[in-house]
Amino acid sequence: MNAIAAVSLDWGIGKGSDLLFHIREDMQRFRSLTSGGCVIMGRKTLDSMPGGKPLPNRRNIVITRSPDFSREGVEVAHSLQDALDLAAGDDPDKVWVIGGGEIYAAMLPYCRLCYLTRVYARPECDVFFPNLDTKAVWQILRSGPIVSDGALDYQFIEYINRDLP
């Protein structure tokens, strides 16, 4: 499986329950990569989505410790292993860890690729993605040009986990 995230220069990904960036091309890329697949997220990330609703056209697996949690259109996992078991029958290239900070940190060792949108900005943030540049197992596989949406410069970068086949 893979992870996908938009990160600031400080590896920030969120402030409270909010995203740091709303870049149209980044949103479109997220939708096009993950549609038709399976997304795995933490309960706080689900709650941060409009209306707390799952993403359409995707299997939505949500990880929570709460035994009573249920939400329409969501498959509930009570541990990381539960989530891995639920997704085990899916094509691994179409299983996506989509956040947030706790879930990225816990599930990165199971991810083969990280599709990052590196945004060249340093907004205030309190939720972070692990800094892959300090982890020897993660290496840059591909990086695109630095582009701008008029307000923000950003770059699509793929990292590969050398620990996984």
β-pair type (12-15, 127-128): antiparallel
Distance CA 113, CA 139 (A): 10
What is the closest distance, in whole angstroms, from the C-beta atom of residue 72 to ligand NAP in the complex?
A: 17
- Which of 80/160 has CB closer to ligand NAP? 80
Provide the token pair at 100. Answer: 């947030």
- Which of 7/161 has CB closer to ligand NAP? 7
Instruction: Give the phi and the psi of residue 49 in degrees, each rounded to 5.
Output: -80, 155
- Which of 1/13 has CB closer to ligand NAP? 13
β-pair type (153-161, 38-42): unpaired
Provide the token pair at 93. Answer: 């290239």
What is the closest distance, in whole angstroms, from the C-beta atom of residue 131 to ligand NAP in the complex?
A: 14
- Which of 32/136 has CB closer to ligand NAP? 32
The residues of the shown chain that bind ligand NAP, judged by CB under 6 A, are 5-6, 13-14, 17-19, 41-45, 48, 63-66, 78-80, 98-103, 106, 127
